[in-house]
Amino acid sequence: MALFNAERPRDAGHPGTPPKVLIIGCGFAGLAAARKLRSAPVELTVLDRTNHHLFQPLLYQVATAGLAGPDISAPIRHLLRRQPNATTLLGEAVSIDPSRREVQLADGKRLAYDHLVLAAGSTHSYFGHDDWAEFAPGLKTLHDAYEIRRRIVAAFESAEKEDNDLERQAWLNFVVIGGGPTGVEMAGTLAEIARRTLPGEFRRIDPASSRVMLIEGGPALLSAMPRELSQSAQRQLADLGVEVHTSVRVTRVDAEGVELSFPDGAVQHIRSQCVIWAAGVSAVPLGTQLARATGLQTDRGGRLQVLPDLSLPGHPEISVIGDLAFARSQLRGHADRDVPGVAPAAKQMGELAARNILRRLASQPAQAFRYRDQGTLATIGRNSAVVDLRTPLGRVKFSGRPAWLFWVFAHVWFLIGFRNRITVLSEWSWAYWTNQRYARVVSDIEADTALRSPVASQSSTVQL
Amino acid sequence: MALFNAERPRDAGHPGTPPKVLIIGCGFAGLAAARKLRSAPVELTVLDRTNHHLFQPLLYQVATAGLAGPDISAPIRHLLRRQPNATTLLGEAVSIDPSRREVQLADGKRLAYDHLVLAAGSTHSYFGHDDWAEFAPGLKTLHDAYEIRRRIVAAFESAEKEDNDLERQAWLNFVVIGGGPTGVEMAGTLAEIARRTLPGEFRRIDPASSRVMLIEGGPALLSAMPRELSQSAQRQLADLGVEVHTSVRVTRVDAEGVELSFPDGAVQHIRSQCVIWAAGVSAVPLGTQLARATGLQTDRGGRLQVLPDLSLPGHPEISVIGDLAFARSQLRGHADRDVPGVAPAAKQMGELAARNILRRLASQPAQAFRYRDQGTLATIGRNSAVVDLRTPLGRVKFSGRPAWLFWVFAHVWFLIGFRNRITVLSEWSWAYWTNQRYARVVSDIEADTALRSPVASQSSTVQL
């Protein structure tokens, strides 16, 4: 099949033919790169597997029915509509040919590039247990969020219909695997749903009798945070009624539930039809393919090791950014440190990759990446959060209600570019005062099949 | 399997055991009946196939990405939470046994009743061509709306990727079959999307070159409306760029598009991957089953003919209301007329069915149904609508911008009971000023498969 974006100029510097820049993936990293190239004399193509950019830090709110999907996402081509040099394409890159400077799409089309910005992100990692995926969905896409929402709703509905006491409790067991920010947010919100949102709506069960378990393999929750905040998070979760288990390994996940291995050697089996995987991420397969094609190595998580300027060794025309990059940043006055897989880092990488393309076009040397760490924050529930802020004046740590207010402010602020900032604020104000969650609506619980046979319905979802 | 709601009192009047009222279906009719029984001394069970009540008049806005699903729906058990006599159950009734007064669910459970209110609604009718369903989805559920939204988004995305001119135009053909209110709303909104929302966002296609066709078999659109309003609607649609074809029959729908038969005998084939069925509705199969079990007849549309008090002949303990009922209403000073399948009629039927149950419990005679026709209204697009109002002072007809403002006011007003009235107003104000549609986000266009093979992806959706 012919090249989709016509013949590329053999000589990228040929006058009159702007160089082709291809960005694969339009998450925080890819979008930042695209926006930075707004007025650049390049022919920009932005390729994504979905039609929308997603504000991922709020995805757990979609999964727990606090927000609708469109509240936290916007069509990519809408975000780039005022950027005449940018073409948005919906499609999936399956392989990169660095020698021909071409990308192959799943539909057979090929895209040429002079500069490639690879920002294809990460996916769930089940640490070699891919068969766990259907029983414990992760949370990366809107599709994931809707599936988790469906399971949460189906669990309470099924419990209400269940005659057998043991079976009923099994429906009311919720297990969140992984004690990072997503796991903490999911567990805290599930506990709030059970204790604050649903009571009064059921006649045969007491939703507050639900068990919400948060399982972390390491010794502490939120391991990237200072010890005191991690401990505070654990206390705040306990106050909400979440059972937190640290240093506990998950040894099996199946249609019945999960098997846990405790540090004292004890093994416990927890029945649950609603298990959520927030434990591991791994770079997308496209990274592995590119590593093979370039003879470079990936780290254990499948990420590509990049040079300080975020380009691939031997391939200055390829930048790898976001969760797919294993980058190190020199900190002023500190030793080098790994760049964490968080949204601000992704945005900063995207901006630098774009700047380096512009510098290369101007025959200037590329710059090295310096991560400006502004700190981290995680929310737990209403009035519960932890914040570890790095300001020019030093580090500020706080938790509880002030941290939660700061979290709300920061997240609504960063919904910039989405039209729904006011809507989200109004949703949240309402949710705060009423404890309600307006998106507790699922479209595809088709009568009883979803309830009786979660496994069967899961696999049909996977087919889709 | 044992009766789910325990043994029913053999003698419904037995002191201390409140009579069991079962409502099947919680649309406008079922919800109105349930609410009317709020303080009644009955044991009420509300059964629905989904977990939510849907504000169906705005469903086309979800399909056309103007609103998110949760904006127009609310969990049934949330709506009934302050009604202690009501139990909400998620499940599908597959058959009714009037002699045992029991309902069988798809999961094998059985529900006993002393009074049954059947409000299970209608589904799409393809007039004997059920194989058309996968190529031309109808619009009844949130699931339908998401599927139509997916096809609309996929059509424009695919056109942008298409190299072949003929194929590209095929992607940009949209066919709406049926010129009732839903068809008029869908066609008008599609034209607005093509001409006002999307321009500027694509680089290889001009969305405004889309063809939107509205096909009506009868001689006029909105046949329930006065002739002048029907003609006004047709003019307003033409102004938006919709091609309206009346007296045209659809003779085939397949993976390629539709075949149209014109009154002059001409046959035309229109290629389209986005065909929307707004032509026919038919009562749900549960109605046919009940007709067979009671020896009663249904009309051509599968509706059950009810007595003036909305009960089934020979079964005063069964009321049939909403789209499933073929009811006639005596109008003050007029001949009897058929009750139309619209939301206000469904609500009024629900209220009367509940009132008649209370009257039977008090040993009073049941009342006959009198439909209070408040008129009809249909929207076409921004500033375009037609209104035919029946007031105590007489009939008022108007169209254009005043009609549109009236429509907005009426619809937002009737979103009572949903928390999202303010949100919907803010969405609409925003959409009005910007021509944007915030929910243009689809979760399950999984890369290219959905684009290349709409048929295959449709059938997997149907499996779900």
Find, in chain A, the residue whose alpha carbon is nearest to that of B74: A441
Mean pLDDT value across chain B: 88
The answer to whether residues A410 and A385 touch, using CB atoms and an 8 Å cutoff, is no
Read off the pLDDT of residues B162-206 as tens digits, 9 standing for 90 and up.
989 999 999 999 999 999 999 999 999 999 999 999 999 999 999
Q: What is the ipTM of this complex?
A: 0.87
| Active-site residue (options: B185, B192, B317, B427) | B185
To the nearest whole Å, the CA of B448 is away from the closest chain A CA by 5
Among A106, A444, A448, whose Cβ lies nearest the Cβ of B447?
Answer: A106
The answer to whether residues B386 and B232 touch, using CB atoms and an 8 Å cutoff, is yes
**What is the Cα–Cα distance from B68 to B439, expressed in whole angstroms?**
6
Q: Is the pLDDT of residue A352 over 90?
A: yes
Task: Write down the pLDDT at residue B26.
Answer: 97
Q: Is the pLDDT of residue A439 over 80?
A: no
Among A51, A439, A457, whose Cβ lies nearest the Cβ of B445?
Answer: A51
Task: Write down the pLDDT at residue B2.
Answer: 55
Mean pLDDT value across chain A: 88
For residues B62-83, give the mean pLDDT.
89
Tell me whether residues A107 and B204 touch, CB distance under 8 A: no
Q: Is the pLDDT of residue A174 over 80?
A: yes
Indicate the DSSP class of residue B310.
S
Going from the C-alpha of B94 to that of each of B104, B284, B294, the distances in angstroms are: 6, 10, 15
Task: Write down the pLDDT at residue B376.
Answer: 87
Tokens for A310, please give them: 């975020």
Among A90, A434, A464, whose Cβ lies nearest the Cβ of B460?
Answer: A464
> Which chain A residues are closer than 8 Å to B424 by Cβ?
none
**What is the Cα–Cα distance from A20 to A40, expressed in whole angstroms?**
11
Band the pLDDT of A180: cuts 50, 70, 90.
very high
Tell me whether residues B70 and A441 touch, CB distance under 8 A: yes
Tokens for A14, please give them: 């040929």
Work out the number of other CB atoms within 10 angstroms of the CB of residue A181: 23
Strand, helix or coil for residue B433: helix
Read off the pLDDT of residues A42-83 as tens digits, 9 standing for 90 and up.
999 999 999 999 989 889 989 999 888 888 888 999 999 999
Tell me whether residues B463 and A463 touch, CB distance under 8 A: yes
To the nearest whole Å, the CA of A148 is away from the closest chain B CA by 13
Band the pLDDT of A100: cuts 50, 70, 90.
very high
Find, in chain B, the residue whose alpha carbon is nearest to that of A105: B448
Task: Write down the pLDDT at residue B414.
Answer: 73
Higher pLDDT, B241 or A12: B241
Task: Write down the pLDDT at residue B138.
Answer: 96
> Which chain A residues are closer than 8 Å to B444 by Cβ?
143, 464
Tokens for A414, please give them: 């960063």
Residue B103 φ then ψ, to 5°: -120, 135
Give the contacts of A385 (CB within 8 A, at least 6 positions apart): A236, A377, A378, A379, A399, A400, A403, A404, A406, A407
List the catalytic residues of A: 185
Among A51, A106, A427, whose Cβ lies nearest the Cβ of B157?
Answer: A51
The answer to whether residues A175 and A276 touch, using CB atoms and an 8 Å cutoff, is yes
To the nearest whole Å, the CA of B146 is away from the closest chain A CA by 9
Tell me whether residues A419 and B430 touch, CB distance under 8 A: yes
